[in-house]
Amino acid sequence: MAGQPLIEYKCRIIENNRSSLKSPVILSMKFFSGQATITQLQWLVWVAVFFIVFFSMLPQDGFLWSGSFALVNVSFYALIIYGNIKFLFPVYYQRGKKVQYVLCVIILLIGAGLTRGYLIISLYNSFNPGKPETWSFGTAVNYVLAGFLTYMLSFIFRIAIAYFALKQQSEKILAQKSQAELNLLKSQVQPHFLFNTLNNIYYEAYREAPRTASLIERLSDIMRYFVDESTKDEVSLQTEILFIENYIALEKIRIRHETEIHFTKECNGEASIPPMLLMTFVENIFKHGIDKSSSQNIVDISLIHKDGYLLFQTRNHIHDKQTQKASHGFGIQNLRKRLTLLFGTKFELNIDRTDPYFTAFLKVPLS
Q: How confident is the model over 157-214, as pLDDT tens digits?
A: 889 888 888 888 888 888 888 887 766 665 555 566 666 677 778 777 877 788 888 8
Question: Residue 22 has what pLDDT?
Answer: 41
Same domain, 31 and 162: yes
- 110 domain residue, yes or no: yes
Q: Which stretches does DSSP call E strand in the chain?
A: 235-236, 260-266, 272-273, 298-306, 309-317, 348-352, 357-365
Indicate the range of 60-69, 70-79, 276-285 predicted with least confidence. Answer: 60-69
Whether the pTM exceeds 0.75: the reply is no
- 322 domain residue, yes or no: yes
Chain segment 286-339, per-residue pLDDT in tens: 887 787 777 778 899 999 998 889 999 999 888 765 544 444 557 788 889 889
Same domain, 63 and 163: yes
Last residue of some domain: 142, 170, 185? 185
| Residue 103 belongs to domain spanning | 4-185
Amino acid identity for residue 276 in this structure: M
Same domain, 168 and 277: no
- 217 domain residue, yes or no: no
Last residue of some domain: 185, 214, 245? 185
φ/ψ region of 303 (left if φ > 0, alpha if ψ in -120 to 50, else beta) reads: beta
- 196 domain residue, yes or no: no
pLDDT higher at 202 or 340 = 340
- 165 domain residue, yes or no: yes
Model confidence band, residue 14 (pLDDT cutoffs 50, 70, 90): very low
DSSP 3-state of 310: strand
Chain segment 26-52, per-residue pLDDT in tens: 444 444 445 568 888 888 888 998 999
- 204 domain residue, yes or no: no
- 239 domain residue, yes or no: no
pLDDT higher at 341 or 205 = 341
User: What is the total count of domains within the chain?
Assistant: 2
- The secondary structure of 45-61 as a DSSP string is HHHHHHHHHHHHHHHHH
243 pLDDT more than 80: yes
